[in-house]
Structure formats: structure tokens, C-alpha cells
Amino acid sequence: MLIDCCRISATDWLEEALPNEPSWQSADTVKLAGILATRGVDFLDVSSGGLHPAQKIRRSDTAAYQAPFAHDVKIALGDKLLVGSVGAIADGHLAQDILEKGKADVAIVGRQFQKNPGTVWAFAEDLGVDIFLAHQIEWGASVLLSTSPV
């Protein structure tokens, strides 16, 4: 079974920098998401920005700052397609919160893996869940995790 996926920039973040110029905004994303759903797209990864030098990203160091865009799509389309959210999702509790509150179907973590390749373990620890490790990794991980720092 193949899954058709699409990543979209939900906004150009140009409303402040270029208020008199047309730009892509969340409402446009919601409309396009509806079209994509009717054309067979199964999963929409909702991101934003990074496309114009004049953009003014309103991140203000807010965790999951792009989740509202994914939530807009989720509210409008319900279960017509799966929706993923990105944007400063740095711990398991935040990822779980996005899912539990129905802001998205999938919490997508990217840059956090650049900062910490052990992000899966960290998220599992945050949430108190066990993860499966391949046998080749399990032995080394158990040795590393069972030793105390000196």
C-alpha cells in the first residue's frame, strides 16, 4: 500500500513585512488541503516559512509554534487526511499534547534529532514508555544506560 504524502508551507509569514502584497496564508493552506484530500493525498505535513527574505516568523521561542496551522487544517478536514505538525517540538510531553488535543495526527520532530540523536529515548523517558531496540543496539544501550557518570 502506498501513501501519498505532501509537505506544505502553511504561511509565508509576510502579512507584517509586506501587508499590501498578496501572500500565502493559513486560509489558503486549508483550501489547498481540501483539494489535496480529494486528489488522493493521505498525509499532509504542515510546516511554514523559510521561503522569503522579508518574512517575519512569529515564533517568539514558543514550542510547537507551527501546530496552530496543522490544527486549522485538522478542524476543517477532520479525518479526510492525516495531518502532521512540526516546529520546535522538543520533548515527549509536547508531542503527546499535540496529539491528545487533536491539533494533529502526527507530531513530526526534525531539528531536535540534530541536537540530540537520542531523541527517541528521551521522548520515551518523558512519557514513561518502553521502546523496542534492535538486538544489535540493545546490548550497547543497556551497558551505557546502566553505568553511572563518574
Q: Where are the domains of the chain?
A: 5-146
pLDDT of residue 113: 87
* pLDDT at site 141: 65
For domain 5-146, which CATH number applies: 2.60.40.10, 3.20.20.70, 3.40.50.1000, 3.40.50.2300?
3.20.20.70
Chain mean pLDDT for the chain: 88
The four Cα atoms 112, 106, 50, 64 give a dihedral, to 10 degrees, of: -60
* Residue 51 DSSP symbol: S
C-alpha distance from residue 139 to each of 119, 135, 136 (Å)? 19, 7, 7
Strand segments (E) across the chain: 5-9, 43-47, 82-85, 106-107
- The answer, yes or no, to whether residue 85 has pLDDT greater than 60, is yes
pLDDT single digits (tens) 100-135 = 999 999 999 988 888 988 898 899 999 999 888 788
Residue 27 pLDDT > 50: yes
Segment 55-70, tens digit of pLDDT: 888 776 678 899 999 9
**pLDDT, position 135:** 80
Mean pLDDT of 70-80: 96
| 41-to-2, 5, 26, 81, 86 alpha-carbon distances in Å | 10, 6, 18, 7, 18
How confident is residue 5, by pLDDT bands cut at 50, 70 and 90?
Answer: very high
Question: Per the confidence metrics, is the pTM higher than 0.75?
Answer: yes
Query: Quick one: pLDDT band at residue 150, thresholds 50, 70, 90?
Result: very low
pLDDT band at 144 (very low <50, low <70, confident <90, very high): low
